[in-house]
Every structure is written in structure tokens, then in C-alpha cells.
Structure 1
Amino acid sequence: MGLGDEAIVAKIESENATFDLSTDQMIELKQKGVSSAVIAAMLSTGANSKPEYSLDSADPMVPHPAGVYLLQGSGSDARMKRMNATVSNQAKTGGILGYALTGGIASASVKVAIQDETAPVQSTTKPVFYFFFDNASDASASNAWASGLNTTVQSPAEFTLVELKQKKGRREARVGSMNIAGAKSGVMDKDRIPFHYDLVRPGVYEVKADAVMEPGE
């Protein structure tokens, strides 16, 4: 006595297995007498299975939790290092004395500081970054990636690569200036490091600096 489709489908759904069926394979199964209901159940297990995530695989085709990663090492030793977000804990001004003495002709600058002189992640002169956005992975497997304004980030074009100045106990970036002619806010053009990016697959980008940089963090 043959098993009904219901029993076979129930068995397929109870197993932790996936089936990668091409069109030719489905036609072959159908020719061998496998019902459409069973074939559909086999396909649905693959569609519903959750991918396995990696925090350090060097292969951008492997699912990673959303975030920015730095590629470290090469060949079989290559690994991705996830870079955790950080925020500035201090803002300060510089050049105020010159600004005051010259009646605003000399510029005063506004800087933000990041705690510690060094960062947890070290890079080479030609760093390669990978950006994984939420649409590249199952949203339930990663935290929402949002900017400081709580708006969803969707592209590397929304980021700026900036060189930080190392100071005692902190690192600084200039984010504004003012003089008698007016004020500017945001990262200054001369402090920006140009970069380009390529789409690896939907939601995943490879990002490289345009120029060779000094080893940094």
C-alpha cells in the first residue's frame, strides 16, 4: 500500500532538510510519479529555511548580520571583522583666540571627539570594507541599522570616510568652522577621504578608498 501525499508532505516538513530543485529535476521527479503536492513541499522547505549567519567569513556571498565589516588578512587566512558603531562623547572648539583677536577673519573650528587614542579594529594602507544592509538578510537575524537621526541607511553613499586626528586620550574630527564670512557645518571637504563602492549582491557593497592611506584604525 502506497503512502498518501499527506504523509509524505508531513514527513518532509518535519525534517530539517532542504532541497535544491532545478526545473529539470522537478520534471524528472514528475515523470517518476512524484505528485505536485510533494514537489511543492520539497521546494517550500528550501524557501522557508533560515540561512546560517557568519560574523567573520571573508565571502560576501555568505549571509552576515547587518553592519560594516573590514576585510583582514588574505587567502585562506582572510576574515571579516565587524566594526561596531560608536558615538562622539564630546564636542569642542578650536582657534577661538585667533578668531577673537582678528575680529572673525581667522576661522574657529568645531570638533567632535571619540574616546581613546586607538580603535579596536586596525587596517592596512588599502582597506577593503563590506557593507551588509538589512535587505540582504533576514530582518529577524539582525538589528535595525539606522543613523543617528533614526533613519534607515541603505547605501554607502550615505557615509563619509574621515581621517581622525590622534590626541591624548581621544581622536578628533572637524565638523564645522566659522569666521566673519559665515559658518559651515559638517565634515570639511579637505578632511574627506574619497572612496568608491560596487554592488556585490542586493544589500551588500564592497567599499574601497580611492587613494593609498597610512595604516590606521
Structure 2
Amino acid sequence: MKYSSTSTMKSAWLPGANWPVDSRDGRYIFLGNAVKYIGKKMFPDAWTDDDPNIAFSGRGFEQHQRVQATINLLGTAIARGDLGFALRPHDGGAFKLPRSGRDGWATFSLDDWNVDDFSQLFRSCKMYDGAHRINIGELDWIYVEQVGLKKLAAASEQSNASAIDTILSDAANAHLSPYLKLMLDLALRLKIGPDNQMKKDAIVAEVRQAWGSLPPSARLQEAMATLLREPDSQAGKAQRKK
């Protein structure tokens, strides 16, 4: 029976972990780099390269959600054969391509991706090549084909764009109160975002200036300024606009 347990292996995402390089000819991309690449494509405004480390260490609900969606997309593409993969020895050497068993010898193939949860494979970024030997030693690093990865990224971006268009279309048909319209206008005009957090007092001033003929309410103006900022801003953690 093939040994394929990765649950007791160290996470490849621990701080200071040594990763292998992508193939010199650019044909193969290390699985860890592939996760970061696709994650940024799927979540351009939210993804950080710390997401996998946080998620695989059991912390961060939002990070876990982003990482799970990313590895599900990659894992499913590999399992379907849409994204080619290969293994490389831990210390370097020739890439090994998937192959079915012959004459009773254990090998590796797409069947190794026929699992209920891809987390263990992506946590370690390693796989057993199935070769019969006395000492298994370090498992092989997992790589994916660069060409297929770029196609998957393009498809992901197109899917995200379609989803955003649908949301905007639905929003256009929804009723927006004058208060919501004011907040949306300010968010766009001031370019407020996770990496651009204005001070609350400055936003309150902008709200008051744009208030127009709405019924006066200092309490609502303060609340709007709060809602336009990230939750971390209240603790002074978010990045502020310089």
C-alpha cells in the first residue's frame, strides 16, 4: 500500500521554511508559489502572502476562507487533468511525471488528488513518488505546469469579473437610500480602501461637506465615517493615507 500520509509533516508555510526554486526553464512552478499566484488573482484586494501560514496554523477565519478557495481551485484543476503536475526530489534532480502503476510497482498519478480535502497536500507541498525503497526519506516537492497555471489564472480573473458585473448589475436595480449613495460616492471619490485609511475626523469633515439637504444628524455623520473605515482602523492597525 502506498505511503502518502502528510498529516504529520511540517507545514511548508512556516516562517523561515526553505522552499525549492521554480524550474530554471520556467516550465514548472513550485506549488507554494502557485498558491500565492492564484490567491492574488482570486482576491486582488484582500490576499496577502501571510494568508496560507495563518490559515494552515488554524488562525484567521477570512484567511482560511481565501486559502481554502484557492487550494480547492488548484486541487480540482490538477485532479481533472486541466493543470499538469510533477514531482521533484527534495534536494533537486530530474522532474518526475505522473504515471500509472506497472507490474505491481507503486507510482503516483492523478489518483493521488482524488481526496476529500486538499489541505494536507497544500500544507506540506509534498508527495510520495511511490518508488519502492528501504528508506523513503524526504518526500518530493510538488510542482505544477506554468502554462496551465497561467490559463487557470486567466479563467479565475474572468470569473471574478463576471461575478463583479453581476453584483453591480443587481445593485443598479436595488434601491439605495440617500445615505448609502453618499457613502458609496465618498468611498469612490476618496479612494478609501484597506491600504488607504483616512483619519476618522477627516472623513467626518468630508461627510458633512457632502451632506447637502439631508436631515442634520451629527450622530449619523460619525457613524458613516466609522463604517467607511476598516475595523482594524479603530485599533490603529490599518494603514492610513499619508
Tell me the TM-score normalized by structure 2: 0.19
Tell me the TM-score normalized by structure 1: 0.21
Instruction: Indicate the structure (1 or 2) with the bigger Cα radius of gyration.
Output: 1
Higher helix residue share: 2
Higher strand residue share: 1
